C-alpha cells in the first residue's frame, strides 16, 4: 500500500523532517487516496509545539486560532493535539498541544478519517483501512460519547454516507439517530458547510434518516414526511413478515414498498441551487425558514423563487409553450432545472427532451437570439430606457413566428413600437 503525496504537502513533510519534527498526512486526503479518489485538501499534523512549527516553516501563515493551524503554500498543518471536555457539544473546553499522533488520531470522528501517512507507512490504530475495504463508517471510540462531544459529527456521518456511498455501522447509526436533535446546538454556518458538501455528493438522499429523526428541524428542514414514510415502510415490512410466517412464498408476496421520498434527490443535477430546491420541495420544508437559518443570499433566494414559479406553472406541453415559459429570463441553467423537475415529478418527465428539442431547433426564445441587437435598436431610434420592453415584444413575436427573426422585419416593428412602450 502506498500513497502518492503531491508536491507541496510532500515538501512540507520533508522540511519538517529536516527540522527534526515528525509529521504525517492525516484525515480526508489519506482516506481518499486509499480509496483511489482525488484528494481535495491535504492536512498535515506535526508532533511539535506551535512555536517549533513556525520556526521550521517561516513562511507559514497562522489560520487556526486556538488550534495553532498554519497554512504553508495551501497545505494546512496543525500541531498534534489532545483535547479535553466538550461541555457545549461543539467546542473542546481546552486544546492541549504537545499531544502525540495517537492522541491526535483519537480525537478524529470516524475510523476512516483517523489514519496517518508519513510518506512510508500507515498508522491506523482504529482499523480504518479495514472499514474502507468494507465501505463502512464507524466512530472512533464510543459513538454516544463522540456525538455528545460534537453534534456536528452526526451530520458528517450522513454526509460521508452519501459522498462516499458507505454503509453505517449499526451502533454508530443508532447513537447518531438517538442524538439527532442535539444538532440544534451547532452553528448554522457549520451545518450549512456540511450540508453543502452532502448536496454536491453522489447520494444526498442518505440524509433521509437524519431528517426523519428531526435532526435538522431547528434549521427549517422538516422531517415529518420522511418520518411518516419510515413508519409506513416499517409497517409494510411487518405485514410482509406476518404473511410470510403464514406460509406464503416470496413470489406470492406482492406488497409494494413505499418509495423512498428522498431518492429522487440523487437524480437531481449536482448544482447547489437545484439540490437545495429539490430537498426543500421533497421534504415539504419552509424555504423562507431555511433561507433565514442558513443566511442564503438574496440572489440564491431569487433563483429559488424563479424555480418555484416555473415548477408551479406545470410542465409545458410543447416547444412553443416551453419558449413562452422561458420568456422571463432564467438566471440559472434551464437544462439543470428541466432535469430537476423531471427527477422529482413524473409530470415533468418529458421536459428534458422538450428542452433539448428546443435547443436543437435553433428557434429563438432569448433576447440574445434576436436578429437585432440593443445598439442596433438604438440606431433605429428606440430610446435606451425602452430597449428592454421593445426586446420583450419582439421576442414574443418571434416565439410565435420564428420566420420574423430577421433584421428588416424586427427593425420595422421596433420603429412602430418605440412610441407605444
Ligand atoms: P472532505 O474531503 O470532504 O474535506 P474530510 O474528512 O477531509 O472530508 P474535513 O472537514 O476537511 O473533512 O476534516 C479533516 C479531518 O479532520 C477529518 O478527516 C477528521 O479526521 C477531522 N475532523 C473534522 N471535523 C471533525 C469533527 N467535527 N470531529 C472530529 N474530527 C473531525
Ligand atoms: Mg478535508
Spatial distance between the Cα atoms of 209 and 357, rounded to a whole number of angstroms:
39
The verdict on the CB of residue 76 being under 6 Å from ligand 1 is: no
Spatial distance between the Cα atoms of 104 and 95, rounded to a whole number of angstroms:
11
Per-residue b or e along 249-279, where b marks 16 or more CB atoms closer than 10 Å to that residue's CB: eeeeeeeeeeeebbebbbebbebebbbbbbb
Q: Which residues lie below 8 Å from residue 195, measured CB to CB, with a gap of 6+? A: 155, 159, 207, 216, 294
Q: Is 245 left (phi over 0), alpha (psi -120 to 50) or beta?
A: alpha
Which residue CA neighbors atom 9 of ligand 1 most closely? 28
Pair 80, 47: CB distance under 8 Å:
yes
Number of the ligand 1 atom closest to the C-alpha atom of 156: 27
Most informative mutation of 9, 27, 152 for ligand 1 (most atoms within 8 A of CB): 27
Spatial distance between the Cα atoms of 33 and 25, rounded to a whole number of angstroms:
11
Pair 194, 206: CB distance under 8 Å:
no
Spatial distance between the Cα atoms of 60 and 55, rounded to a whole number of angstroms:
9
Task: Report the predicted TM-score, pTM, of the whole model to 2 decimal places.
Answer: 0.88
pLDDT of residue 2: 87
Which residue CA neighbors atom 2 of ligand 1 most closely? 28
pLDDT of residue 244: 66
3 state SS of 211: helix
pLDDT of residue 281: 95
The verdict on the CB of residue 113 being under 6 Å from ligand 1 is: yes
Q: What is the DSSP string of 8-70?
A: HHHHHHHHHHHTT--EEEETHHHHHHHHTPPPS--EEEESS-HHHHHHH-TT-EE-SGGG--E
Kindly identify the ligand whose nearest atom is closest to the C-alpha of 39: 1
Spatial distance between the Cα atoms of 210 and 68, rounded to a whole number of angstroms:
33
Most informative mutation of 109, 112, 159 for ligand 1 (most atoms within 8 A of CB): 109
Percent of the chain with pLDDT over 90: 80
Which residue CA neighbors atom 1 of ligand 1 most closely? 28
Q: Which residues of the chain have pLDDT under 70?
A: 83-95, 236-237, 239-240, 242-259
pLDDT digits (tens, 9 = 90+) for 394-414: 999 999 999 999 999 999 999
Spatial distance between the Cα atoms of 88 and 25, rounded to a whole number of angstroms:
29
The verdict on the CB of residue 200 being under 6 Å from ligand 1 is: no
Longest distance between any two alpha carbons in the chain, whole Å: 85
3 state SS of 297: coil
pLDDT digits (tens, 9 = 90+) for 49-76: 989 999 999 999 999 777 789 999 999 9
Kindly identify the ligand whose nearest atom is closest to the C-alpha of 116: 1
The verdict on the CB of residue 45 being under 6 Å from ligand 1 is: no
pLDDT of residue 248: 56
How remote is the CA of residue 249 from the centroid of ligand 2, in Å?
Answer: 49
The verdict on the CB of residue 108 being under 6 Å from ligand 1 is: yes
Count other Cβ atoms within 10 Å, centred on residue 38.
8
How far apart, in Å, do the first and last CA atoms of the chain sit?
72
3 state SS of 332: coil
The verdict on the CB of residue 17 being under 6 Å from ligand 1 is: no
Number of the ligand 1 atom closest to the C-alpha atom of 27: 18
Pair 46, 53: CB distance under 8 Å:
yes
Amino acid at each position: 500500500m502506498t500513497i502518492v503525496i503531491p508536491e507541496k504537502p510532500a515538501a512540507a513533510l520533508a522540511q519538517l523532517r529536516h527540522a527534526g519534527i515528525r509529521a504525517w498526512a492525516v484525515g480526508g486526503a489519506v482516506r481518499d487516496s486509499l480509496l483511489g479518489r482525488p484528494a481535495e485538501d491535504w492536512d498535515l499534523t506535526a508532533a511539535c509545539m506551535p512555536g517549533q512549527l513556525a520556526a521550521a516553516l517561516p513562511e507559514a501563515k497562522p489560520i487556526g486560532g486556538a488550534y495553532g493551524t498554519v497554512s504553508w503554500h495551501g497545505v494546512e498543518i496543525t500541531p498534534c493535539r489532545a483535547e479535553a471536555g466538550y461541555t457545549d457539544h461543539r467546542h473542546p473546553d481546552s486544546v492541549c498541544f504537545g499531544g502525540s499522533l495517537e492522541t491526535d488520531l483519537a480525537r478524529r470522528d470516524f475510523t476512516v478519517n483517523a489514519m496517518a501517512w508519513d510518506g512510508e507507512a500507515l498508522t491506523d490504530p482504529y482499523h480504518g483501512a479495514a472499514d474502507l475495504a468494507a465501505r463502512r463508517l464507524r466512530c472512533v471510540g464510543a459513538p454516544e460519547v463522540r456525538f455528545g462531544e460534537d453534534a456536528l459529527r452526526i451530520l458528517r456521518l450522513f454526509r460521508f454516507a452519501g459522498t462516499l456511498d458507505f454503509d453505517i455501522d449499526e451502533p454508530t447509526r443508532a447513537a447518531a439517530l438517538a442524538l439527532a436533535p442535539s444538532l440544534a446546538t451547532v452553528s448554522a454556518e457549520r451545518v450549512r458547510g456540511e450540508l453543502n458538501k452532502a448536496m454536491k455528493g453522489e447520494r444526498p438522499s442518505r440524509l433521509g434518516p437524519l431528517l426523519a429523526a428531526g435532526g435538522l428541524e431547528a434549521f427549517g428542514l422538516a422531517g415529518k414526511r420522511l418520518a411518516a414514510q419510515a413508519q409506513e415502510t416499517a409497517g409494510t415490512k411487518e405485514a410482509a413478515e406476518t404473511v410470510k410466517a403464514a406460509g406464503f412464498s416470496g413470489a406470492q408476496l406482492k406488497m409494494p414498498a413505499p418509495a423512498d421520498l428522498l431518492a429522487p434527490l440523487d437524480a437531481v443535477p449536482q448544482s447547489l441551487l437545484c439540490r437545495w430546491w429539490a430537498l426543500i420541495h421533497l421534504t415539504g420544508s419552509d424555504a423562507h425558514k431555511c433561507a433565514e437559518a442558513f443566511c442564503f443570499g438574496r440572489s440564491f433566494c431569487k433563483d429559488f423563487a424563479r424555480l418555484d414559479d416555473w415548477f408551479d406553472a406545470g410542465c409545458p406541453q410543447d416547444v412553443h409553450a416551453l419558449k413562452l415559459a422561458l420568456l422571463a429570463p432564467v438566471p440559472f441553467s434551464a437544462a439543470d432545472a428541466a432535469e430537476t423537475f423531471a427527477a422529482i415529478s413524473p409530470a415533468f418527465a418529458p421536459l428534458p427532451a422538450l428542452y433539448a428539442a428546443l435547443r436543437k431547433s435553433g428557434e429563438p426564445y432569448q433576447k440574445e437570439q434576436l436578429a437585432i441587437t440593443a445598439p442596433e435598436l438604438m440606431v433605429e431610434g428606440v430610446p435606451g430606457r425602452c430597449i428592454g420592453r421593445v426586446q420583450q415584444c419582439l421576442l414574443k413575436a418571434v416565439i410565435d413566428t420564428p420566420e420574423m427573426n430577421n433584421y428588416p422585419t424586427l427593425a420595422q416593428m421596433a420603429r412602430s413600437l418605440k412610441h407605444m412602450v
